[in-house]
Amino acid sequence: MRSVGLFKVFAFYSAMTSIGVAALWGRGGATEFFPKIDLQHWAIAIASGLGVGLVMVAASRLAAANLQWAAQLAEEFRSLIGPLSGRQALAVAAASAVAEELLFRGILQPPLGLWLTAAIFGVLHIGPNIRFLPWTVMACGAGLAFGWLFHWTSSLAAPILAHATVNYLNLRYLTQTTDGDELCIDPVGDEHPVGQ
């Protein structure tokens, strides 16, 4: 995010959310995509969204700990994103989850179907170079999981919550220092782990 800037990130996701809301409104409103005012529907949406999100995060952590390409991908993202506070990570996670799920699951999935929407979602998560290709493939898988949640619950709440969970926990993980190193900031602004 350091190369793009948080303002531009939020402007992008705000525009995407506006387009999603306008498109849903034009189709007759978004009430069909959120659980009814019914405790059971909300409980299912929350539990399934959190559950799927946590499983996806656990799988990514397991991959990063055991697979060289996944560890390298995490380091690539760590260098791209730069430092984020907990609030910034939460804001980015929420904004991206709402915007992307409105667009992909709310707008595109009903007419295009689960598989094509997941493929488009994956392809649009392309990185700046070939080393990010695994991220694109993983995004296709995430698109299938989020799309399945939307289909199963008939609600955008579950995929939004799953998506936000994945993004928040991964952003927090990627913006932490590695191996428990304490971060030291020199007066000139260089960052390095203490003791090196």
Residue 196 lies in a domain: no
Is residue 186 included in any domain, yes or no?
no
Q: How far apart are CA 46 and CA 121, in angstroms?
A: 23
DSSP for 96-107? HHHHHHIIIIII
* 128 domain-assigned: yes
Residue 142 is assigned to a structural domain of this protein: yes
108 within a domain of the structure (yes/no): yes
Each of the 196 residues of the chain gets a pLDDT tens digit; together they read 554 577 888 888 888 888 888 887 777 666 656 656 678 888 988 999 999 999 999 999 999 999 998 888 888 888 878 788 888 889 999 999 999 999 999 899 999 999 999 999 999 988 777 878 888 999 999 999 999 999 998 889 999 999 999 999 999 998 875 444 443 434 444 444 444 4
Q: Per the domain annotation, does 68 fall within a domain?
A: yes
CB atoms under 10 Å from CB of 80, counted, come to: 15
Whether residue 187 lies inside any domain: the answer is: no
Q: How far apart are CA 70 and CA 49, in angstroms?
A: 24
Pair 187, 170: CB distance under 8 Å: no
Indicate the pTM of the whole model: 0.81
User: Using an 8 Å Cβ cutoff, are 93 and 167 in contact?
Assistant: yes
What is the 8-class DSSP label of residue 181? P
In a domain, 183, yes or no: no
Q: How far is CA 120 from CA 51, 142, 147, in A?
A: 24, 12, 12
64: containing domain:
6-29+39-176
Q: How many domains does the chain have?
A: 1
